[in-house]
């Protein structure tokens, strides 16, 4: 019996087009999308962002290919069999995520002097190893504001593997609520919580940022501008008065649009690494209460 062949559409685009091309591929029927650039385990080609989109079958992949700009070098590549599922593990080794917090995979020990907190993390099919700039910068910002993290509940929107919640819990957060539109990643969050002794302090919920729900004094949203900008008001409504919201998954050129979308909050901090940025805002205080400075 021949092994299964999985079709993937590949395109190479400038970084500032990546969000739009990802949206187009979703509209064309992609079942999953991976972005590769200089910050990821597998790099993009020729300095571009390489977008890899999976499709259910060759017919759908071929139809999508016909809708893509030839300048993006669109092509179909096939993965045969299931060995690809563990390919990424070759590139995943222990590393320092932010001051005081390191990450290691379950199959590899920390061999040097460990930081104060070492998180054991296997992301499975969920986004969030901690290696991407968007995750590491938010982790740094969480650490920079650890005085407000200690003893407080966090809400992690689009949580992926749950890594941002685990960083906050390691730095003293009281509990975490993790939400993701993809319900299949939530068992990954719970498995990793158990690995790190956080199972009693974390809950999960299948939900999108527009679905509403409970508020928290600290909100993390490492998603992308195509979600963070149009749903800015819904995200701010999830932050308790005078609480903090950490935004990432953003490219530097998108800063202005994000600042405008969150104008009723107070900008207080940011990080930039390469083309990626992460921003922190403070939600408005209750009426009649002086803002925190």
CATH number at residue 9: 3.30.70.120
b (16+ CB within 10 A) / e for 258-271: beebbeebbeeebb
Please name the residues in contact with 199: beta carbons below 8 A apart, sequence gap of 6 or more. 190, 193
- Residue 162 falls inside a structural domain: yes
Instruction: Return mean pLDDT, the chain.
Output: 87
Looking at the fold, whether 100 and 82 belong to one and the same domain comes out as: no
The better pLDDT of the pair 169, 208 is held by: 169
Q: SS3 for 272? A: strand
| Residue range 206-235: mean pLDDT, rounded | 93
| Residue range 119-124: mean pLDDT, rounded | 78
Looking at the fold, whether 43 and 160 belong to one and the same domain comes out as: no
Report the CATH number that the domain containing residue 143 is assigned in CATH: 3.40.50.150
The better pLDDT of the pair 157, 208 is held by: 157
- Euclidean distance between CA atoms 34 and 8, whole angstroms: 10
Looking at the fold, whether 216 and 268 belong to one and the same domain comes out as: yes
Task: List alpha helices for the chain, DSSP H.
Answer: 18-27, 58-65, 133-144, 146-149, 163-170, 186-195, 225-228, 232-236, 255-261
Looking at the fold, whether 63 and 200 belong to one and the same domain comes out as: no
Cβ pair 88, 40 in contact under 8 A: no
Question: Which token pair is 201?
Answer: 């302090």
pLDDT for 1 beyond 60: no
Looking at the fold, whether 115 and 241 belong to one and the same domain comes out as: yes
Looking at the fold, whether 57 and 108 belong to one and the same domain comes out as: no
Q: What is the pLDDT of residue 19?
A: 85
| Residue range 46-60: mean pLDDT, rounded | 89
Cβ pair 139, 101 in contact under 8 A: yes
**Residue 186 Cα distances to 157, 177, 193, 250, angstroms:** 12, 11, 11, 24
**Residue 128 Cα distances to 46, 175, 204, angstroms:** 25, 19, 16
Domain C-terminal end among 55, 88, 121: 88
| Residue range 121-136: mean pLDDT, rounded | 70
Q: SS3 for 277? A: strand
Q: Which domain holds residue 132?
A: 92-282
- Euclidean distance between CA atoms 244 and 121, whole angstroms: 26
Q: What is the pLDDT of residue 125?
A: 52
124, burial (CB in 10 Å: exposed 0-12, middle 13-18, buried 19+)? middle
- Euclidean distance between CA atoms 73 and 28, whole angstroms: 17
């Amino acid at each position: 019996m021949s092994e299964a062949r999985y079709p993937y559409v590949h395109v190479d685009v400038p970084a500032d087009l990546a969000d739009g091309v990802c949206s187009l591929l979703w509209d064309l029927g992609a079942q999953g999308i991976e972005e590769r650039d200089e910050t990821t385990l597998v790099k993009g080609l020729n300095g571009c962002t390489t977008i890899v989109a999976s499709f259910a079958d060759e017919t759908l992949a071929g139809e999508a290919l016909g809708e893509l700009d030839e300048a993006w070098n669109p092509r179909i590549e096939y993965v045969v069999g299931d060995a690809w599922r563990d390919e990424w593990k070759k590139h995943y080794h222990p590393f320092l995520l932010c001051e005081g917090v390191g990450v290691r995979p379950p199959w590899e020990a920390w061999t040097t002097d460990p930081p104060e907190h070492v998180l054991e993390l296997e992301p499975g099919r969920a986004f969030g190893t901690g290696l991407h700039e968007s995750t590491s910068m938010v982790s740094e910002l969480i650490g920079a504001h650890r005085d407000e993290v200690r003893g407080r509940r966090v809400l992690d929107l689009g949580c992926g593997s749950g890594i941002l919640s685990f960083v906050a819990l390691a730095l003293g957060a009281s509990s975490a609520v993790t939400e993701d539109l993809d319900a299949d990643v939530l068992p990954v969050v719970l498995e990793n919580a158990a690995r790190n002794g956080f199972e009693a302090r974390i809950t999960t919920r299948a939900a999108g940022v527009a679905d509403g729900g409970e508020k928290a004094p600290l909100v993390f949203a490492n998603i992308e501008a195509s979600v963070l900008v149009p749903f800015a008001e819904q995200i701010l409504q999830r932050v308790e008065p005078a609480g903090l919201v950490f935004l990432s998954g953003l490219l530097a050129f998108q800063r202005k649009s994000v600042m405008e979308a969150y104008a009723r909050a107070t900008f207080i901090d940011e990080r930039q690494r390469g083309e990626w940025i992460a921003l922190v805002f403070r939600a408005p205080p209750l009426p009649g209460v002086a803002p925190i400075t």
